[in-house]
């Protein structure tokens, strides 16, 4: 009898220890209660027809910035006045204006683009658009390390608001957006609303974007007629400055980084204009001037999520070797509504000389999170994955080391849920000697 009681006590103790071990060893990612999607938001314009709205800035070649904005009125000049003190605009520049029609039912406002500069690094500039309206300000990127990039694909929901608030709470130098901006999906007023939603952030720091599937907006779906009309009109990027003939793919340099924005929804096969341009662009990279080589695409080449599986595969097969041989450090993708970081990889295998692939498609889309994952196959090269909303931060500390962190939106807080140090491949003895 005493022996049976002892046995029962042992069983209870063992059960308690198993439960205790399970509780304390469970990663936070499993314990975290994944949030449901939140509703779309619409951001109105409160100013006059002449007042600037949807103001955003982007890098436009060495020491230059492009200021873009929209007015309802056609009488506003495409002029930006700017200076380094509030209200004192000692310099001005003029640019161009464009507009577009979409399916006869929508006519955009006047979309102004003005390139300003040369500008000094890490300097606050105060500016006014079209000679009237409120004053804006932005800070130019630094000329030396460290530099910090915020990375997110966004959408336009209450979760996007939350992500933007978290991005804005902690300083950064440049935002990188791997496609899927407004989720307008042909309903053009949503582009205007998106411009107004992001203006408080995109008017203060350069935003560099590439296109996603939600930017295609083919007037005749499946036939891809007149694609990227709104995207190209509203978000011109410095493609001409980088020798590209298309706004859908381009590159730029900023503080020790050469950043290549590729187009997942334009031709990429060997012989295509994008492929030829990429090959030439990579050949020009000087790793002593820009040790960091970073690429953005939209549809991920590596993905263990059940959502959008294989959608980046044709592009991976066409272009992966070029990136591998150039020793690209990091490839960021969007599209999949979840976060995932892979180990260094090439040709579906772990490879110390391949790029780290990171999917950051969780900024706040309206379609909800992609929660189902593969447990076999590429699972072995996936280092961290989680279906939660959030954004990423890449801090280039110096020419050899960087810090990547993923900030999960946890309601009012932004918690670091994944963090890793990254060593530059361009200075790796092992990897550079093999090229
Ligand atoms: Fe997408």
Ordered DSSP codes for 258-316? EEEE--TTS--STTSHHHHHHHHHHHT--TTT--EEEEE-SS-SS--BSTTTTTTHHHH
Higher pLDDT, 2 or 366: 366
- β-partners of residue 294 are 259, 330
Q: CATH number of the domain that 54 lies in?
A: 2.60.40.380
Q: Does a structural domain hold residue 132?
A: yes
In a domain, 8, yes or no: no
Question: Within 13 Å, how many C-alpha atoms sit on residue 322's CB side?
Answer: 23
CA of 186 to the centre of ligand 1 (A): 15
Q: How far does the centroid of ligand 1 lie from the alpha carbon of residue 73, in Å?
A: 33
- pLDDT confidence of residue 428: 78
% of the chain at pLDDT higher than 90: 77
Q: Does the annotation mark 214 as catalytic?
A: no
Query: Separation of 269 CA from ligand 1 center, angstroms?
Result: 20
Same domain for 205 and 103, yes or no, is: no
> Do 130 and 157 have their domain in common?
no
Domain that holds residue 261: 143-423
**C-alpha 180 – ligand 1 centre gap (Å):** 5
pLDDT at residue 433 in the model:
60
> Cα–Cα distance between 375 and 386 in angstroms, integer?
13
Last residue of a domain, one of 123, 140, 157: 140
In this prediction, residue 31 carries a pLDDT of 54
Residue 24 has pLDDT above 90, yes or no: no
Q: Are 74 and 154 in a shared domain?
A: no
236 lies in the same domain as 373: yes
Token pair for 281: 């662009």
Helix, strand, coil share of the chain (percent; to 5):
25, 30, 45
Q: Rounded mean pLDDT of the chain? A: 90
Q: What is the pLDDT of residue 224?
A: 61
* 222: pLDDT strictly greater than 70: no
Beta strand residue intervals within 156-225, DSSP E: 174-178, 207-210
Say how many C-beta atoms besides its own lie within 10 A of residue 154's C-beta.
Answer: 30
Sorting pLDDT into bands at 50, 70 and 90, what band is 15?
A: very low
Lowest mean pLDDT among 4-8, 281-285, 355-359: 4-8
Q: What is the pLDDT of residues 277-290, one digit of tens each?
A: 999 999 999 999 99
User: Do 295 and 255 have their domain in common?
Assistant: yes
Residue 343 lies in a domain: yes
Of 258, 298, 308, 335, the active-site residue reads: 308
Residue 366 pLDDT: 81
In a domain, 2, yes or no: no
**Mean pLDDT across the stretch 109-126?**
98
Convert the pLDDT of each residue in 226-240 to its tens digit.
Answer: 899 999 999 999 999
For residue 8, pLDDT beyond 60: no
Nearest to 366 by CA among 136, 18, 20, 38: 38
pLDDT higher than 50, residue 18:
no
| Rounded distance between C-alpha atoms, residue 56 and residue 333, angstroms | 22
Token reading at 127: 């500016």
Q: 266 with 371, same domain?
A: yes
Is pLDDT at 4 greater than 60 in this prediction? no
CB 98, CB 111: distance < 8 Å: yes
Which of the pair, 224 or 278, is modelled with greater confidence? 278
Shared domain for 238 and 317, answered yes or no, is: yes
222 in the same domain as 150: yes
Tell me how many domains the chain contains: 2
Q: Are residues 121 and 181 in the same domain?
A: no
Q: Which of 137, 120, 119 is nearest to 128 (CA)?
A: 137
Asked if residue 252 and residue 107 are part of one domain, the reply reads: no
Q: Is the pLDDT of residue 320 over 80?
A: yes
Q: How far, in whole angstroms, is CA 173 from its chain's centroid?
A: 13
- 22 lies in some domain: no
299 C-alpha to center of ligand 1: Å?
Answer: 7
Which among 140, 158, 173 is the end of a domain?
Answer: 140
* Domain co-membership, 132 together with 152: no
pLDDT at 3: 41
Establish if 7 belongs to a structural domain: no
Q: pLDDT-based confidence at 274, cuts 50/70/90?
A: very high
Q: Is 290 within the bounds of a domain? A: yes
| Per-residue pLDDT tens over the stretch 49-108 | 999 999 999 999 999 999 999 999 999 999 999 999 999 999 999 999 999 999 888 999
- Cα(335) to ligand 1 centroid in Å equals 3
Which of 38-47, 174-183, 221-230, 366-375 shows the lowest mean pLDDT across its residues?
Answer: 221-230
Structure confidence by residue, pLDDT tens digits, 28-59: 344 566 777 778 889 989 999 999 999 999 99
Residue 322 structure tokens:
């070029």
Both 263 and 343 in a single domain?
A: yes
User: What is the model's pLDDT at position 13?
Assistant: 41
Give the per-residue pLDDT at 363.
86
Given a cut of 60, is residue 173 above it in pLDDT?
yes
CATH number at residue 211: 3.60.21.10
Residue 20 lies in a domain: no
């Amino acid at each position: 009898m005493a022996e049976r009681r002892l046995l029962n006590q042992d069983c209870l103790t063992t059960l308690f220890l198993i439960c205790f071990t399970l509780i304390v060893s469970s990663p936070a990612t499993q314990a975290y209660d994944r949030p449901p999607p939140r509703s779309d938001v619409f951001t109105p314009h409160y100013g006059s027809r002449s007042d600037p709205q949807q103001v955003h800035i982007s890098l436009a070649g060495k020491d230059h910035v492009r200021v873009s904005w929209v007015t309802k009125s056609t009488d506003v000049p495409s002029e930006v006045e700017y200076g380094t003190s509030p209200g004192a605009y000692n310099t001005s520049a003029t640019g161009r204006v464009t507009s577009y029609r979409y399916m006869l039912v929508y006519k955009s406002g006047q979309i102004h683009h003005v390139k300003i500069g040369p500008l000094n690094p890490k300097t606050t500039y105060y500016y006014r658009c079209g000679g009237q309206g409120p004053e804006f300000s932005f800070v130019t990127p630094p000329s030396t390390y460290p530099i910090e990039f915020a990375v997110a694909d966004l959408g336009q929901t209450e979760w996007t608001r939350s992500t933007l608030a978290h991005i804005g709470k902690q300083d950064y130098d440049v935002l990188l957006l791997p496609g899927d901006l407004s989720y307008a999906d042909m309903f053009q007023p949503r582009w205007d609303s998106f411009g107004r939603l992001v203006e408080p952030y995109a008017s203060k720091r350069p935003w560099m974007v590439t296109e996603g599937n939600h930017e295609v907006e083919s007037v005749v779906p499946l036939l891809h007629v007149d694609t990227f009309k709104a995207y190209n009109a509203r978000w011109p990027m410095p493609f001409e400055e980088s020798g590209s003939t298309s706004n859908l793919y381009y590159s730029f340099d900023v503080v020790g980084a050469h950043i290549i924005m590729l187009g997942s929804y334009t031709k990429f096969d060997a012989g295509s204009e994008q492929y030829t341009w990429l090959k030439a662009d990579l050949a020009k990279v000087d790793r002593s001037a820009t040790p960091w080589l970073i690429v953005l695409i939209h549809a991920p080449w590596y993905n263990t999520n059940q959502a959008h599986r294989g959608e980046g595969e044709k592009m991976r097969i066409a272009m992966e070797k070029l990136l591998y041989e150039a020793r690209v450090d990091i490839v960021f993708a969007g599209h999949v509504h979840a976060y995932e970081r892979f180990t260094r990889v090439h040709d579906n295998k772990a490879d110390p000389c391949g790029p780290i692939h990171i999917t950051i498609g969780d900024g706040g889309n309206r379609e909800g999170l992609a929660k189902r994952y593969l447990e076999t196959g590429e699972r072995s090269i996936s280092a961290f994955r989680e279906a939660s909303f959030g954004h990423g931060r890449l801090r280039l500390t110096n020419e050899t080391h960087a810090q990547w962190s993923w900030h999960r939106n946890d309601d009012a807080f932004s918690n670091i849920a994944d963090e890793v140090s990254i060593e530059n491949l361009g200075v790796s003895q092992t990897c550079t000697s093999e090229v």
